[in-house]
Copies of this chain bind each other. A is one copy, B any other.
Amino acid sequence: MTQGRPMRADARRNYERLLKAAAGAFAEHGENASLDDIAKRAGVGSGTLYRHFPTRQALLEAAYVDRIEAFGVRADELAGERPPGEALAEWLYELAVGSLQVRGMRALLGSAVTEHGGAAALTACGTVVHGAVTRLVKAAQAEGTLRGDVEPIDVLRLTHGVTTAAELAGAGEREIRRYLRLLTEGLRAG
């Protein structure tokens, strides 16, 4: 990716500052925090912000990349200590809770599982999350606790959808858990 040349020292400094400012602003005002404001907080001009991060998405992703990677790690942790079906369920739950608690992250995850006109233009964060869910899903399917006719990305999208539903309900973690259980067990009686 960013080979070419190893970024000039001032450029890197500003980059770091922007990330820190962005994380603060997004946490405080949600995904629609003012970008100009973020630039001001970081003590740089708005031009500098837009050079480093061409779109809001790009900045959002860069600001949360460490959290996203933590989810990747967490997936393997869970896979090591629980049976596959449970590991998947718990991971999805934690992902959903995280999506709601950390403002702006839900939008990020949403964009990570979006079909961009067919081209698999997966963002970096999309790659991590998609990798993690794929491992968990395959294991659960091999174990026989998860139906075989779903793709990992389906599971991710449906979880995102359920999170949306929970948010509409003015959600707490209890609502998320309930909706995820409904998704797992199905709405049908019996």
For chain A, the bracket of interface size reads 35 or more
Instruction: Considering the complex, give the chain B residue whose CB is closest to the CB of A111.
Output: B168
Give 13 new A-B contacts, CB below 8 A, not counting A110-B168, A161-B179, A183-B186.
A110-B164, A114-B168, A115-B169, A118-B170, A154-B182, A155-B187, A157-B168, A157-B169, A158-B165, A158-B179, A184-B186, A185-B188, A186-B188
Q: Are B189 and A147 in contact (CB under 8 A)?
A: yes
Q: Are A117 and B155 in contact (CB under 8 A)?
A: no
* A→B interface (CB under 8 Å): 110, 113-115, 117-118, 141, 144-148, 150, 153-155, 157-158, 160-166, 168-170, 179, 182-190
Contacts of A168 in B (CB 8 A): 110, 113-115, 157, 160
